[in-house]
Structure 1
């Protein structure tokens, strides 16, 4: 009897960061859908069926940190300042991924976020040389740039990366130029198909000099709608120690103080609202500094860094609105998580966010980098969430667009076309 087709997902992390979460959810969704889907990560945060850790011993764990450090040290002499330290990946260091038994056995390889010492540029070249079909699910812009994960408005990747704004000494033949050249060598004839969770990023793939010749598809990330679902807000708030008689505004992220998350606009918007009334309070969860929220004029409830998925879903369901003020984002997990819980979302008109929020239907799309517009959007949702059926509409959008069975079928159809 012929062996069933095996799909192998490669990701640096298992559940750490939005890209890893999306990759793990896809692996789970495919397995539920009957696909032989496996995931190989550098470090596993927990034991999970269908997931294998490359660092499966104490000495390999130490090697992970050694490679991570070596990767950062490669960039250190070039970085403009500390704010860009983890926003640029030279991919100079990696593991011999092409030799791993799961890679050797795979019929289709699905790349995700593979930086920080997992797969180097040389490793990618060797992986493509195996001749297996490769799908690359893009969680940021790195595949087609000279090293940055988000270009922050720079469009050099349309032609050739150079004079990189992330670098201390940008020039015609700087580090971004060097990395771009290396990528060009192996991307020209790679057996590669790109998938973007958002139409926004897919359009960039089709315009970028490194990738415009390769096929690209838009398939969103999946979400388990049985975990992320609406719940009784009063009961949840009592359980979480939150006020039951206030409007609660949620702000979250893996690192809420990352400049890309646009917290300064959120802070300004909340303080604008606070000048007029005291109707609301703020919920946070995620990594942050102890004094990060001192300037906010509404009371703050910091739930800390949540790792339990049930607690995360409860935090979303307890809120009246989620605010996403990201300056650059692909298809944020936070938006679909909140909407799956019936919580409307207010977000800037950039990246894939406007594809998720249907303006005045399940949330509010606001003018980019405008704290005033953000305040207007928050106020509108808080005042109209009940009468406009925003909660029901938000949940329905997720069920129709991002549910596991919907996304698993789209990926299965793509894999079938490649083998």
Structure 2
């Protein structure tokens, strides 16, 4: 069986990580021959091919990304929403690419930022090959936003969009909804969501009525992301061994949706109630972050910067006493999965697919949405209740039974088989 996997990048973001993990798991457990086709390649893996193979093609790829942003510029409500909405108007046709032509099945993932447009997707669909599309957010079934929040226009025909400057019944979100409707007609791709929460939203979308939709979680390598003694992990990273370390991690720490201000406020609340924690607790941060953001936190912070080596990422999770993720919009975060696999409990808001991952007061703490006070209570609770390592053991077991590569590979293999 030959499968081509399409994703904008091979390394940037959770979708790229999940895509690579799915490909490798299916290869390992079921012998599926997988190739990944991307717009932007940053790794040296032989199974990954970029459509931009020379300097000119790379400039074209950058141009498509810029064009997509410029086309949205007249419509965007503010700079704050610039990357929260993608028109899907600019893309490149890969329907004639050898990897696509040779594939028995096409598996789409996150294809925005000038890689695929509604028109180029339509050309892929016209090939008549079985297609699986794993949704990592809501974009595939909205007029352009990646997460609609409390706005439910996607259940009808979009329009009156909160992301656009002049919302109305025929605004850009409605027009892009119509473009997707046209592209999807007669195309029975299978929509796979990474969480039951996202599946529930997909099923309500007017664009996906009549489509087969199911949930298959993202996988994780439980041998790479595995517990090691905390003291050992901390020594390797040059971190203190006599403190509780609270971790905050995100690809871009300052991204609005990652909730960093709630983390900062929660720490202030925690220390106001228990000032003695100043001497017991320190912070660990990894991801792209401005030093002044981290330096203003009320506790000493150790910055690891952007981490790309999975082994070092696993060490960081192992070094932490807990991982705090006050994200405001999430599907099924790889970060929580990675933390659990290393036996590190997680505190996070009760939003999106997170309640499917965190079992409250069993492997972490589910905080009330957008409540810094509740995050503070969660941090305190985990500090008090993981002395015997019970939360850590439960976190690891959740991953082994639910997200292990063998488990997820079997589910995808059965889906592939049903389509061939």
User: Following superposition of structure 1 onto structure 2, how do residues 101-180 of structure 1 map, counting pairs within 5 Å?
Assistant: 101-180=98-177
CA positional deviation for 1:388: 5.9
* Alignment partner, residue 7 of structure 2: 11
The runs of 4+ residues in structure 1 deviating greater than 3 Å are none
* Alignment partner, residue 25 of structure 2: 29
Q: Tell me if 1:379 matches 2:380.
A: yes
TM norm structure 1? 0.97
**Contact 1:188 1:210 (C-alpha < 8 Å) held by counterparts:** no
The number of residues matched between the two structures is 415
**Contact 2:38 2:49 (C-alpha < 8 Å) held by counterparts:** yes
Q: Tell me if 1:366 matches 2:367.
A: yes
**Contact 1:206 1:213 (C-alpha < 8 Å) held by counterparts:** no
CA positional deviation for 1:387: 3.2
Q: Distance in 1 between matches of 2:33 and 2:387?
A: 43
Q: Distance in 1 between matches of 2:78 and 2:60?
A: 27
The 3-state SS of whatever aligns with 1:303 is strand
CA positional deviation for 1:417: 0.3
**Contact 1:19 1:112 (C-alpha < 8 Å) held by counterparts:** yes
Unaligned runs of 5+ in 2: none
User: Following superposition of structure 1 onto structure 2, how do residues 386-397 of structure 1 map, counting pairs within 5 Å?
Assistant: 386-387=387-388, 389-397=390-398
* Alignment partner, residue 289 of structure 2: 288
Q: Distance in 1 between matches of 2:389 and 2:234?
A: 23
CA positional deviation for 1:243: 1.3
* Alignment partner, residue 307 of structure 1: 308
Unaligned runs of 5+ in 1: none
CA positional deviation for 1:188: 3.1
The 3-state SS of whatever aligns with 1:38 is strand
CA positional deviation for 1:168: 1.1
* Aligned-CA RMSD value: 1.1
User: Following superposition of structure 1 onto structure 2, how do residues 279-358 of structure 1 map, counting pairs within 5 Å?
Assistant: 279-358=280-359
**Contact 2:119 2:183 (C-alpha < 8 Å) held by counterparts:** no
Q: Distance in 1 between matches of 2:295 and 2:307?
A: 21
2:59 to 55, 59, 62: 62
**Contact 2:188 2:212 (C-alpha < 8 Å) held by counterparts:** no
- 1:201-247 Cα offsets, whole Å, 9 max, x none, are 00111111111321111100011111111111112212212111111
CA positional deviation for 1:127: 0.8
**Contact 1:361 1:388 (C-alpha < 8 Å) held by counterparts:** no
The 3-state SS of whatever aligns with 2:23 is helix
* Alignment partner, residue 408 of structure 2: 407
- 1:273-296 Cα offsets, whole Å, 9 max, x none, are 122132311110001122112332
Q: Distance in 2 between matches of 1:49 and 1:294?
A: 40
CA positional deviation for 1:25: 1.1
**Contact 2:259 2:328 (C-alpha < 8 Å) held by counterparts:** yes
User: Following superposition of structure 1 onto structure 2, how do residues 220-235 of structure 1 map, counting pairs within 5 Å?
Assistant: 220-235=217-232
**Contact 1:131 1:191 (C-alpha < 8 Å) held by counterparts:** no
**Contact 1:142 1:149 (C-alpha < 8 Å) held by counterparts:** yes
